[in-house]
Structure 1
């Protein structure tokens, strides 16, 4: 807050006049600062609006003013450049899914094992009943046993036969239910003896993923390998192998089962998957993660245009890969990209756009 000073000439001293004079000077000073800040904000906003979403070779210098740094200054700032080389990548699309809890499949397996046990017991009773009825028939033909005893033995034999058929039907019904819910591959895993593949899922050595494809997408071919990650970070994604088509899908698109050995996964987690496009390979360059800057929601890199000159370039057609970002347009092999020290260049560029606000005059 301002503090009015008394003039040396007491004849002109007027407290009210001095107060309003100081107040006017204070307001004018603050308005000047506010106007300056508004002008800086407007300049930054205009830079964002006028920055193209992608650029070709002729537009290289339209993204920002050229920065000039001597070789000595570059060395002090730790500026390091990387010469881009041509790269070919399989185009990818993103899909989403979850880590599946296989407990319902284990319950079906346990029910099937009980059905198999019941079937074996029923089959044993049936075989015993078959022997008993054969013996009763011999006794009846010899006149030793009555017809009533033979008929009773026949009833027991028919009951044992029905129990075998019932146990068979129960086991078949459980298998059919498993195929309906989980598909043939996982059902075969569950009911195999020994169930080595399923044991890997039970012990956590592998995890079952269900990935739902977008409505307009499909897998390139059965057995395709994808990559998936629970955090949605493409650079951290781990491989996942295709198992089978999921029998239960939603309105969004077809679902597929995959298995992954990523030990970070837990049942119930949501995952993001990156899936190769059908027969579509892209050519471009790969940028290290340290070369990419983010400003106002857009991705930028700095290109070395001469020995001591740099220009900022916006990139649009890119996607994350394990070793950085793949860019298909806007950059070409042979371009020198700042791989270390790009943040220093951005700070220097923005600092040059902001005027000194400490001067009240």
Structure 2
């Protein structure tokens, strides 16, 4: 009886030990799966993970740059509905430029200066005609006096006095003309001063507003590259209104507000209004940089930075920062991150940005659940 009881206790104890060992084994296996399963799982691309292009041989810095760019996936049907379009980029060479401000000179300033000189010149011509008349009258009286003696000496003396007055008047008018020309040359550099003084075709084109003079004010402590003969301008808040202007001469006076170096340029276009404020890009280097030009229509702004969307495949787009790019009149020139042959979105970028944020909000809701 005692032996049976002991045997039963041993069987019960062995059964408890087996259950305990089984529980410990299960916990050990579960722990191993929990800690080591991430090492065996293959990465699944998410909406916010960088999509790599196997055909591109980027350097490490560019891969790091792409790693932080966000991406979004949109079906081809949705792209058609949203009018999302893209274009392939070509290699672009860009000469470094500095941005400056400019203003279109009103033609009224030039016209008033021209009018003062023209009036002075007309007065001088009248004085010359009067002088010539007095000179002829004196010659006639002297001839009569010598030939017939019928002319009194006092008449000859009176004519002589009139001629002297006319000569003095003509000299005074000539001095007024010279003063007017000197005033213009003190205010305007050549060739602008010559246009005002002489008139002619160039002045007439300005008055007809077929050409305009632009005053460019460079940033403080910046100087114009002496090899820079052409600048590019852009109408403020009008990205499509752009053009070029040729260098004329340096201004004699500095701008009272900006105090930067001031130059005059000639715009051979009638698309600018007098007094209009412009942004200009002035070349400040002779070396051209290789890269791609991102047109402004492809640029979107978020968090104070410019961005563009790079097409990865038919349905995947990646947002790339343009913060390191160089702004120019055509767009933003980028030397790294996007390459010739890449396709960027030219229409519908704002829609992609909204779609990207929509998926982010959706993912956050899933995490909360």
TM-score of the superposed pair, with normalisation by structure 2: 0.69
What pairs with 1:220-235 in structure 2 (closer than 5 Å)? Answer: 220-221=225-226, 224-235=229-240
- The structure-2 alpha-carbon separation of the partners of 1:65 and 1:192, relative to structure 1 and needing over 3 Å to count, comes to closer
Aligned to 2:160: 154
CA distance in 1, matches of 2:82, 2:106: 52
CA distance in 1, matches of 2:76, 2:122: 82
Equivalent position SS for 2:191: helix
Contact 2:127 2:166 in 1 (8 A): yes
CA distance in 1, matches of 2:251, 2:293: 35
What pairs with 1:77-96 in structure 2 (closer than 5 Å)? Answer: 82-96=87-101
Are residues 1:212 and 2:217 paired? yes
Contact 1:101 1:267 in 2 (8 A): yes
Contact 2:228 2:283 in 1 (8 A): no
- The structure-2 alpha-carbon separation of the partners of 1:87 and 1:119, relative to structure 1 and needing over 3 Å to count, comes to same
Aligned to 1:28: none
- The structure-2 alpha-carbon separation of the partners of 1:124 and 1:296, relative to structure 1 and needing over 3 Å to count, comes to same
Are residues 1:63 and 2:97 paired? no
TM-fit CA distance, 1:157: 2.0
Are residues 1:202 and 2:207 paired? yes
What pairs with 1:1-361 in structure 2 (closer than 5 Å)? Answer: 56-64=61-69, 67=72, 82-137=87-142, 148-192=154-198, 195-221=200-226, 224-250=229-255, 252-304=259-311, 310-321=317-328, 324-340=331-347, 342-355=349-362
CA distance in 1, matches of 2:270, 2:68: 43
TM-score of the superposed pair, with normalisation by structure 1: 0.70
Equivalent position SS for 2:192: helix
Contact 1:98 1:271 in 2 (8 A): yes
Tell me the alpha carbon deviations over residues 300-333 of structure 1, each in whole angstroms, 9 at most, x when there is no partner.
2334557875543212132455654321333333
- Which is higher, the Rg of structure 1 or of structure 2? 2
Structure 1 spans left out of the alignment, 5+ residues: 1-54
TM-fit CA distance, 1:173: 0.8
Tell me the alpha carbon deviations over residues 147-172 of structure 1, each in whole angstroms, 9 at most, x when there is no partner.
54444333222111111111111111
Aligned to 2:52: none
Structure 2 spans left out of the alignment, 5+ residues: 1-59
- The structure-2 alpha-carbon separation of the partners of 1:57 and 1:74, relative to structure 1 and needing over 3 Å to count, comes to farther
Name the Cα RMSD after superposition: 3.6
TM-fit CA distance, 1:177: 1.1
TM-fit CA distance, 1:231: 2.0
Range with bigger deviation, 337-346 or 284-293: 337-346
Equivalent position SS for 2:95: strand
Equivalent position SS for 1:244: strand
Range with bigger deviation, 258-267 or 279-288: 258-267
CA distance in 2, matches of 1:233, 1:256: 23
